[in-house]
Amino acid sequence: MSNPANLPNNLKYTASHEWVKTEADGTISIGITQHAQELLGDMVFVESPMVGRKLKAKEECAVVESVKAAADIYAPVNGAVVAVNSELDSTPEAINADPYAAWMFKMKPDNAADVAALMDAKAYQAVVDSEAH
């Protein structure tokens, strides 16, 4: 299934299968991993958080729904929502097509060190492997 080579090394990851990318302006983009989209299947609906909302790490803040099931998306760190990708409203299948390009929302983290402390690709791969038995 998920091949280590598929996990971009420039991203951070969470145990709940979000990826986190630090942008040049210090904000972070959040999406779901290849592994998560494979499990969920064809995406049909994305519910994004409100811009401006303050989030705590591991707080439920968004939802993706595939034909099969709904899944919660969790804030990777403390911070505020600064943007949402409204293109996914009409094209949720972009998450299936290219999960690492289909960012769902952006946050301004309270503390950049929190982002640095998230899992790297190798640690996340171990999480995925452990779920596969």
Site membership for another protein, residue 45 (CB under 8 A): yes
Which of 8, 10, 23, 67 touches another protein (CB under 8 A)?
A: 67
Site membership for another protein, residue 110 (CB under 8 A): no
Please enumerate in sequence order all residues whose Cβ is within 8 A of that of 108, keeping only pairs 6 or more positions apart, or say none. Answer: 26, 27, 28, 79, 80, 82
* Number of chain positions touching another protein (CB under 8 A): 13
Least distance in angstroms from the C-beta of 14 to another protein:
21
Specify the 3-state DSSP secondary structure of 61.
strand
Q: Are 127 and 36 in contact (CB under 8 A)?
A: no
Site membership for another protein, residue 42 (CB under 8 A): yes
Least distance in angstroms from the C-beta of 16 to another protein:
17
Residue with smaller CB distance to another protein, 44 or 126 = 44
Alpha-carbon separation of residue 76 from 1, 90, 110 (angstroms)? 25, 25, 11
